[in-house]
Structure 1
Amino acid sequence: MFDTIRKYAVRFRVSPRAQAPEVRERRAHNLFEAAAAYVAACAEDDQDRIDEASAWVSPEALSFGVSELACRAVIALARERDVSPHSVARDLLGLPAA
């Protein structure tokens, strides 16, 4: 919970809206770019990149993007392994087979 609050507070500190116009990035990131960067940074435990990707879009958009990425990853792994998405999801979470 405190990690979520910290991420939320960091977003205000580095928000593109809070920066001077000359400091803002020239290109807006979409929610899927933000989700991909965020998940990759989390996997590599890179807090600087996590904070950067979190600032690209709203928390709600990032949450949606991460959820969509998870769904697509589970479907891709299920097709690759020739098993059901349900089995892949449980396996990734370390849950016993249902």
Structure 2
Amino acid sequence: MFDRVRTYIARFRTSTRAEAAGGSEKRAHNLFEAASDYVSARAEDDQDRMDEASGWVSPEALSFGVSELACRAVIALARERDESPRTVARDLLGLPVA
């Protein structure tokens, strides 16, 4: 089972797309780089950067990367706050404590 997950992740890490700017060289971006740029652009409400980052990898890879980034962020905040990841996630979304 873990081999399938590793294969899935490896396939998306190597997924690349050419930059749209007038025939410039292809630059390989991995899914985590795309996810971090996409999320930071979204936090800053920068639509141009969001569009650029979303073109670097497939939509599935970007979704996986954003999900992984969210998971890691919640874990980091939970450790920093000395709370459970569930409590932190619910707090970030403005949900009542369960």
Map 1:1-98; keep pairs closer than 5 Å.
Answer: 16=18, 22-25=23-26, 27-98=27-98
Q: Which runs of 5+ in 2 are unaligned?
A: 1-16
TM-score (structure 1 length as normaliser): 0.77
Percent same amino acid at aligned positions? 77
- After TM superposition, the runs of 4+ consecutive aligned structure 1 residues lying more than 3 A away are 17-20
1:56-93 per-position Cα deviation (integer Å, ceiling 9, x unaligned): 00000000000000000000000000000000000000
Q: TM (normalized to structure 2)? A: 0.77
Post-superposition Cα deviations, 1:21-42, rounded to whole Å, max 9, x if no partner, equal x4233x3000000000000000
- Whether the 8 Å contact between 2:78 and 2:84 is mirrored in structure 1 is yes
How much has 1:44 moved relative to structure 2?
0.2
Change in 2 beyond 3 A, CA 1:96/1:67: same
What is the aligned length?
82
RMSD: 1.8
The residue identity in structure 1 corresponding to 2:96 is P
- Structure 1: segments with no counterpart, 5+ residues: 1-14
